[in-house]
Amino acid sequence: MIPATVRPGRLQVTGCRYLLGPILGTIKGMTSSSAVSHAVSAAGALAAGHPLMDGRTADSPLITAYRGGKPSRRPVWFMRQAGRSLPEYLKVREGVAMLDSCLRPELAAEITLQPVRRHDVDAAIFFSDIVIPLKLAGVGVDIVPGVGPVLDKPVRTAADVAALPQLTWEALEPIREAVRLTVAELGKTPLIGFAGAPFTLAAYMVEGKPSRDHLGPRTMMHADPETWTALANWAADASGMFLRAQLEAGASAGQLFDSWAGSLGLADYTKFVAPASARALDHVRHLGAPLIHFGTGTSELLVAMRDVGVDVVGVDYRLPLDEANRRLGGKVPLQGNIDPALLSAPWEVLEAHVRAVIAAGASAPGHVLNLGHGVPPETDPTVLTRVVELVHSISPE
């Protein structure tokens, strides 16, 4: 059965502006899951006390820009703003492993709030990791310092996929509690929830660790497409449930991160990856929160990434925003795309770059300033504060 949100024909989509035809034929052949069915059958508005529903964040600069309106000030936030470059983050993380810090609600909330206090950014991004759904499902995974996510056992065969444990709604309670604690302190500042896109998550699972070229998953797509589809669907449901837990608990928007999609050509992305990304988002479309899709090295995939069904497209630093807007037909708000490398450049160079990014984004229906990737760990946090002050000093058009 195809979930109602992606059934071919006239579409009634409440959580996103776009869910277009090119991927529907591929989605049609996917196997449904109880998780997707549960998400769709539970369709309905967010709770009355949710920040989007009770007036706290619906008119915030961020949400207004995501919805294509004119914000009261230019919204700006930074990917990986929570952690990495902040001394207060390093202090609270002392002696605590990365994944453990994500699963301690009070600590995760504190880390999420730190950059909002310091920089006056227009959004908090939930502090967690894309492999947290794996860990909560019972998959052996850890973040190895200097390496990244490492699995106890790679997932490479049909038997491996069949043996994967299923993530339960109850296991996500630490995530919901961390979001509730965070939102209680944020007031009118929106929280953005996030999840790893299925391809990036599955790429880690197949390789068992980070990879430069992602040959394992790219080979599996063609050599064993049934196993690939089963794995991508598992990852989609895990990420979708993870994102839904954050949104229902109080996040005002959701972002799907596809860090490794840039390793794919358009044909492979459309056939083997887009259906799973759409499936992940099927878990949250009915909630009505703005949805953002971001990937690195994905300039040639932007239209396909939009077409999985999102409201906003994130653009990395490789493509000017005016060109991204042209490729997307001028119909979708954009997010990005300050080059992180320039955060360590002289201020006059960085300022000119930020102003150029703002000018390039002016042609889009909406624009949220962000980096074209994450904050480098060596970044001076006072530079980020200065960038925020600059962005806020420039009146929205």
Q: What is the pTM of this model?
A: 0.90
Query: Where do the domains of the chain lie?
Result: 20-393
In tens, the pLDDT along 93-151 reads: 999 999 999 999 999 999 999 999 999 999 999 999 999 999 999 999 999 988 999 99
Q: Would you report the helix, strand and coil content of the chain in percent, each value rounded to 5?
A: 50, 10, 40
Contact, 37 vs 279, CB < 8 A? no
For residue 84, the model assigns a pLDDT of 79
Q: Hey, CA dihedral for 382, 386, 391, 395, is it positive or negative?
A: positive
CB–CB of 257/130 below 8 Å?
yes
Of the candidates 340, 332, 392, the residue with the CA atom closest to the CA atom of residue 361: 332
Packed helices 381-393 and 347-361: angle between N→C axes, nearest 10 degrees: 40
Token pair, residue 19, equals 């869910």
Q: Determine contact, residues 292/313, Cβ cutoff 8 Å.
A: yes
Among all residues, which ones are annotated catalytic? 80, 84, 93, 129, 204
Architecture of domain 20-393 in this structure: Alpha-Beta Barrel (3.20)
In the block, residue with structure tokens 């102003």: 355
The whole-number pLDDT of residue 44 equals 60
What is the per-residue pLDDT for 166?
96
